[in-house]
């Protein structure tokens, strides 16, 4: 993981401290090692921005998840700093984001959908939440939905539906979708590499798992998840899937507990 000097202060979420998890503040604007995808924190949630052509000021961007803020303030702030750093002649801001891949349809992961004009990718199960046909899964997200405090609905949105093992080529990036149901019924992880098949990969998992402060993996918290038993099994299956691909290590970006390692996912499976 490579540090970016332009690190903004983001409040550490109380619940991650209480649960003994890592947190995203220390990873804000940190680049995942294999792809250079940059973590951008929005309140307590993290999204990731990757250049389709690394180092090209005019490159289109891929956004993984979208934070909570429907105005995408922290995302736009990062994009502005990026353009200044790269001396972009004609700034595009959020218009540079042409692809938005969503791990799951909880309100703290889809906020930027309001603020960007890009193609959205999401699983069929979670697309029903975006369309307003289904409520958010998990005890607390569901309660907030019922109270009208935190709703997720984009009735006019037409997302591209993604399935297990589906691959996308975005410039230099290859993105493979991996089903990790449990936190929500349609939760997806994204295995991302830059360049040829023999190049290393990063993994972006949303809330499919968390990292403790010691770097070990823990299941997503039951109050925020639809099915914790399915979520735990998905972590085990994810490890097996990565082993079959010969992927034993690499960076893992999460939605709330910072950046960890693929090795820790394998350790979770061994201890299960």
CATH superfamily of 14-271: Ribonuclease Z/Hydroxyacylglutathione hydrolase-like (3.60.15.10)
Q: Rounded to a whole number, what is the largest CA-CA distance in the chain?
A: 52
Cα–Cα distance list, 154 to 1, 134, 184, 192 (Å): 34, 12, 18, 27
In three-state secondary structure terms, 206 is strand
Per-residue confidence of the chain (272 residues) as pLDDT tens digits?
443 333 233 334 444 554 555 554 567 888 999 999 999 998 779 999 999 999 999 999 999 999 988 899 999 999 999 999 888 878 899 999 999 999 999 988 998 998 899 999 999 999 998 887 776 776 656 656 665 666 677 878 899 999 999 999 999 999 999 999 999 999 999 999 999 989 999 999 999 999 999 999 999 877 778 888 999 999 999 999 999 999 999 999 999 999 999 999 999 999 98
Asked if residues 18 and 24 have their Cβ atoms less than 8 Å apart, the reply is: no
Q: Tokens 């503040």 — which residue?
A: 25
Nearest CA among 118, 142, 128, 156 for reference residue 227: 142
> To the nearest 10°, the Cα dihedral for 150, 208, 203, 211?
100
Domain extents for the chain?
14-271
This model's pTM is above 0.75: yes
Helix (H) or strand (E) holding 189: strand 188-194
């Amino acid at each position: 993981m490579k540090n970016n000097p332009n690190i903004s202060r983001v409040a550490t979420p109380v619940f991650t401290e209480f649960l003994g998890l890592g947190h995203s503040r220390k990873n804000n604007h940190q680049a995942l090692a294999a792809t250079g995808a940059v973590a951008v924190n929005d309140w307590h949630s993290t999204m990731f921005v990757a250049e389709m052509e690394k180092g090209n000021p005019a490159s289109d961007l891929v956004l993984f998840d979208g934070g909570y803020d429907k105005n995408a303030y922290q995302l736009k702030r990062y994009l502005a700093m990026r353009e200044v750093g790269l001396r972009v002649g004609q700034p595009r801001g959020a218009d540079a984001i042409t692809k938005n891949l969503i791990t799951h349809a909880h309100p703290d992961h889809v906020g930027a959908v309001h603020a960007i004009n890009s193609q959205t990718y999401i699983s069929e199960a979670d697309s029903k939440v975006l369309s307003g046909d289904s409520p958010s899964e998990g005890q607390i997200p569901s309660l907030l939905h019922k109270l009208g405090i935190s709703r997720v609905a984009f009735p006019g949105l037409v997302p591209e539906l993604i399935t297990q093992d589906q691959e996308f080529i975005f410039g230099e990036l290859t993105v493979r979708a991996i089903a990790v149901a449990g936190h929500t019924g349609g939760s997806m992880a994204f295995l991302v590499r830059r360049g040829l098949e023999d190049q290393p990969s990063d993994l972006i998992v949303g809330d499919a798992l968390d990292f403790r402060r010691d770097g070990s993996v823990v299941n997503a918290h039951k109050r925020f998840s639809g099915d914790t038993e399915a979520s735990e099994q998905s972590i085990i299956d994810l490890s097996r899937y990565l082993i079959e691909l010969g992927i034993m290590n690499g960076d893992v970006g999460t939605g709330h507990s910072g950046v960890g390692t693929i090795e820790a996912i394998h350790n979770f499976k061994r201890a299960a």
